Structure 1
Amino acid sequence: MLFRPPLRTGTFKLTALVTAVALALGPIATAQAQQGKGPPVLRDTESEQLLREYTRPVLRAAGLEKQNIQIVIINESAFNAFVADGRRIFVNYGALLQSETPNQIIGVLAHETGHLAGGHLAKLHEQLAQAQTQMIIAMLLGAGAIAAGARGGAGNGLSSAGAAAISAPQSVIMRSLLSYQRQQEENADRAGVKFLTATGQSPKGMYDTFKRFTDESLFAAHGADPYLQSHPMPIDRVQALEVFAHASPYWDKKDDPALQLRHDMMRAKISGFMERQDTVYRRYPLTNTSMPARYARAITTYLHGDLRSAIAQIDGLIQLQPNNPYFYELRGQALLEGGRPVEAIAPLRRAVQLSNSAPLIEMLLGQALVASDNKAYTDEAISILRAAIARESEAPIGFTQLAMAYGRKGDYAQADLASAQAAYLRGDNKTARDLASRAKTRFAIGTPGWVKADDIVSAKPMPGEKNN
């Protein structure tokens, strides 16, 4: 199944967040949220595992280790990261691609952890609620003055005073809110450096990243009103960051070479899947024989239809690292999408084994088993997919493949239920309810399947959707 070019089926693919996010997502993401859709998300076991390892010590230092904070990769090429709901850090794939060292992206993640540790979202909501109340009071007072002016005639000046009473407080309140947000950003910078120091890591990556964006934004910020900025003015922020970052005893500490290689492999994978083929070859020319370069070229080769050459390139990578689960995953994914699902099963079994049964890779194996058209694999596919879904319940592809497996077995009640669950995760509530309603007629009343189907039928419609 192709979600959006240039992605294909497999564990590096697009899905949708079930929970829409708000605050600082910009007009496009906000529009998607209003339509009941979250921002488009990229899923990849290799990248997610590395990001978990990046954030684990930082979260521990922040006292958030037990909060189950998730790192979510957004399908956006711009460099950006943000928090929006107190339990997830969102990071654009562009930030991963543009971060040349682990320390640079770890610094960004530490900054976002500073927002979480400081409870900035909850506090900002309180400030917004307070500001809204103040604005309502100002508008009521202003409206009262306008009405009094209208009764007393234009000459008494109350109408003009009323208009001023409406507009002036709103401007003051807005400036106060923006100032509060700027202070939050400064606090997050300081907290990020504190967490990095506590974990024996350098804050230089954070400083270098913010300084780069300062240099790029100086022209855009020229003449801007510092009191109308939600973030500190770039040069002021970086100067403040430089002072306390340089004080860290780990300023000059370098990334471990093995970690740098894994980071480079992640960037190569993102480039191979997300960038045009000519861009990939400019970034990783044939003269570059490093493992990341070979990884990126193998991916873009299979994506653009040269399966034979891609498999040869992937096999060369496997020879270099015979216990790398993601090379076997890529081989299986390429064969599956190349119309050879039976051949994809063996490398995907190996990938599952080497990855300690990573659920997204299990889903890919389940897909290969279902696509093989061998009914002998049906029960195995159902078992694998159910196990994967139990640990990764927000990936629609798992439920979609499970529905196909149940359909092949003739269990149409479970097939309808799995299809309904997949539709629900995609944000298609109408289809989900229709399928769940049909599933209810196939299950005995009160059974677990009937209850799950009833939950979907009874679910509230997403924002902007009519409950048909």
Structure 2
Amino acid sequence: MQPFRLLRPNLARLRRSIAVGLTLVAAAAPVMAQSQQRSVSLIRDAEIEQLLRDYAAPIFRAAGINAGGTKIILINDRAFNAFVADGKSIFVNIGVLMDAATPNEVIGVLAHESGHLAGGHLARLRQEMQNAQILSIAGLLVGVGGVVAGARSGGSAIGNAGVGAMGAIAGPQELVRRSLLAYQRSEEQAADRAAVRFLSVAGMSAKGMLTVFRRFAENSAFLSKAIDPYTLSHPMPSERIAQLETLAKQSPHFDKLDPPALQARHELMRAKLMGFVERDAGVARRYGMADQSMAARYARAISDYRSGRMAQALAAMDRLIGEQPKNAYFLELKGQALLEAGRAREAVPVLRQAVALAPQAGLIRQMLGHALQQTGDKALLDEAIRELSNAAAREPDSAEVHQHLSNAYAAKGNIAMAELSAARHAFAKGDWTVAHTQASRALAKLPQGSPAALRARDIVEYVPPDKQQ
């Protein structure tokens, strides 16, 4: 188990969630009728997620968005993109974080996506798509009617009528498509305006947002002359920049800089991503040995640990901890390295310190619970169950925490709770059959009416989406 984790999510659930989404980018190319599906992987990391929550908090307050009910989800994709889905989630590619030079650039991205959430754009887009479907069907029926009429007229009129009818079929569908795209462009412009307003209310600059869109404009400039603007889901880059620049410069906070402490955390976040997702050579190119900044040493320590240079990695981690002894994430990293090296007993005190410094971080508690369990010391099982239960309450959708909890309960001899945790593990993975079986077994053993029994019954009675009427 790692604090920085690459996850393969329940793809069916994720695809349902993002089937309709409003993206930050896509203006450089027209919307295509078909798209090639790629595998999706998510990244979980306590440090990065906390930083993004800190970035988003003032924006969410200004927008009236419930921060507790809104997730920011990291996607393992180097493309610079972000989008909203399901009305309560913002998906951010790691490319946004790795390419953004300042916190303000990421904050601008989050402000734009918050504009979609606060404006209810996703719900209205679904309605527009339903309306478009109805119009498209109506147009199709008109075209089919033309074909039938031509067939009944007989003779050479059939061919002429058929050609005309095919135009009648294609024409309304193209009109509907362009109408829907026009709607999406208007919502993108509305999200831009809302983002600038939120940033101003929060006392933050919109310069980073402007920087991001200028980058998009530069990258897509060579394509824009050959594109029909009416086939885009986003405004043309030049138009977008002009509107944003006018709005952004009206704010009294336009020239406000990010606090140095926040910039330092941003650099550590970027270094962590580089250390985990790039090979040694990539880390070396980005952070040469001459670079002795904390961020560079953080990236190299991670790279050393991932490449098996454990003594060198631990020495670097100890130096970082010596400089910032209250940095929970430096301690977390050392705990991870020790745990994965089979040194769970050494990892436990380090992770206890990390939890004490970041008690709200469920992912760190999850690692501590796993380390306690991995020591093989039965005297530590109660503490392991306590930490894992705490983590499960904070991270109910984490399949991994329920798996560790099931193992801990089994080692303790509590078979009913082991089966319930196994059911929750399967449920989090989307394996409804196993979840139902394990929950049924647990329910037969748990005290009737207990919280655990009620949770087991919820799983037993759950109807998967593909089985719902």
Q: By the TM > 0.5 criterion, same fold?
A: yes
Alignment partner, residue 131 of structure 2: 130
Kept after mapping to 2: 8 A contact 1:15/1:426 = no
Q: Which amino acid aligns with 1:43?
A: R
Superposed, 1:243-254 pairs within 5 Å as 243-254=246-257
Kept after mapping to 2: 8 A contact 1:328/1:351 = yes
Structure 2 counterpart of 1:16, from 5, 9, 12: 9
Q: Is the aligned partner of 1:220 residue 2:220?
A: no
Kept after mapping to 2: 8 A contact 1:360/1:392 = yes
CA distance in 2, matches of 1:324, 1:191: 35
TM-score by length of 2: 0.91
Aligned to 1:431, what secondary structure does the other structure show?
Answer: helix
Superposed, 1:19-38 pairs within 5 Å as 20-21=16-17, 22-24=19-21
Q: Which amino acid aligns with 1:345?
A: V
Q: Which moved more, 1:153-162 or 1:133-142?
A: 153-162
Alignment partner, residue 141 of structure 2: 140
Alignment partner, residue 89 of structure 1: 90
Kept after mapping to 2: 8 A contact 1:15/1:43 = no
Deviation of the 1:311 alpha carbon: 1.0
Structure 2 counterpart of 1:363, from 348, 362, 366: 366
Alignment partner, residue 423 of structure 1: 426
Superposed, 1:375-394 pairs within 5 Å as 375-394=378-397
Kept after mapping to 1: 8 A contact 2:114/2:195 = yes
Q: Which amino acid aligns with 1:303?
A: R
Deviation of the 1:427 alpha carbon: 2.3
Aligned to 1:16, what secondary structure does the other structure show?
Answer: coil
Deviation of the 1:147 alpha carbon: 1.2
Structure 2 counterpart of 1:300, from 286, 300, 303: 303
For residues 116 and 73 of structure 1, do their structure 2 counterparts lie closer, same or farther at Cα, with a shift above 3 Å needed?
same
Deviation of the 1:67 alpha carbon: 6.5
Q: Which moved more, 1:237-246 or 1:256-265?
A: 237-246
CA distance in 1, matches of 2:187, 2:35: 24
1:172-217 deviation line (CA, Å, top 9, x unaligned): 1111111111111111111111111111211111111111121111
CA distance in 1, matches of 2:409, 2:392: 15
Superposed, 1:393-432 pairs within 5 Å as 393-432=396-435
Structure 1 counterpart of 2:323, from 307, 320, 327: 320
Q: Which amino acid aligns with 1:412?
A: I
For residues 160 and 67 of structure 1, do their structure 2 counterparts lie closer, same or farther at Cα, with a shift above 3 Å needed?
farther
Kept after mapping to 1: 8 A contact 2:6/2:41 = no
Kept after mapping to 2: 8 A contact 1:429/1:462 = no
CA distance in 2, matches of 1:154, 1:285: 79
Q: Which moved more, 1:333-342 or 1:188-197?
A: 188-197
Q: Is the aligned partner of 1:239 residue 2:236?
A: no
Alignment partner, residue 341 of structure 1: 344
Deviation of the 1:283 alpha carbon: 0.8
Deviation of the 1:353 alpha carbon: 0.2
Superposed, 1:175-324 pairs within 5 Å as 175-324=178-327
Aligned to 2:335, what secondary structure does the other structure show?
Answer: helix
CA distance in 2, matches of 1:181, 1:51: 26
Alignment partner, residue 29 of structure 2: none
Kept after mapping to 2: 8 A contact 1:148/1:159 = no
CA distance in 2, matches of 1:67, 1:288: 39
Q: Which amino acid aligns with 1:169?
A: P
Deviation of the 1:10 alpha carbon: 3.0
CA distance in 1, matches of 2:74, 2:204: 23
CA distance in 1, matches of 2:4, 2:381: 21
Q: Which amino acid aligns with 1:48?
A: E
Kept after mapping to 2: 8 A contact 1:11/1:364 = no
Kept after mapping to 2: 8 A contact 1:16/1:425 = no
CA distance in 1, matches of 2:442, 2:281: 48
CA distance in 2, matches of 1:370, 1:154: 83
1:326-378 deviation line (CA, Å, top 9, x unaligned): 11111111100011000000010000000124211100000000100001111
Alignment partner, residue 116 of structure 2: 115
CA distance in 2, matches of 1:448, 1:256: 46
Alignment partner, residue 6 of structure 1: none
Aligned to 1:42, what secondary structure does the other structure show?
Answer: strand
Deviation of the 1:450 alpha carbon: 4.2
Q: Is the aligned partner of 1:45 residue 2:31?
A: no
CA distance in 2, matches of 1:31, 1:205: 30
For residues 167 and 13 of structure 1, do their structure 2 counterparts lie closer, same or farther at Cα, with a shift above 3 Å needed?
closer
Kept after mapping to 2: 8 A contact 1:11/1:360 = no
Deviation of the 1:239 alpha carbon: 2.1
Kept after mapping to 1: 8 A contact 2:3/2:44 = no
Alignment partner, residue 71 of structure 1: 72
Q: Which amino acid aligns with 1:16?
A: P
Kept after mapping to 1: 8 A contact 2:271/2:296 = yes
Deviation of the 1:446 alpha carbon: 5.6
Deviation of the 1:447 alpha carbon: 5.0
Deviation of the 1:268 alpha carbon: 0.8
Kept after mapping to 1: 8 A contact 2:20/2:126 = no
Alignment partner, residue 35 of structure 1: none
For residues 250 and 415 of structure 1, do their structure 2 counterparts lie closer, same or farther at Cα, with a shift above 3 Å needed?
same
Q: Which amino acid aligns with 2:51?
A: L
CA distance in 2, matches of 1:154, 1:271: 70
TM-score by length of 1: 0.91
CA distance in 2, matches of 1:462, 1:345: 41
Deviation of the 1:15 alpha carbon: 5.5
Deviation of the 1:132 alpha carbon: 0.6
Deviation of the 1:28 alpha carbon: 8.0
Unmatched segments (≥5 aa) in structure 2 = 24-31
CA distance in 1, matches of 2:155, 2:210: 58
> How many residues get paired?
452
CA distance in 2, matches of 1:229, 1:117: 23
Kept after mapping to 2: 8 A contact 1:203/1:251 = yes
Deviation of the 1:456 alpha carbon: 2.6
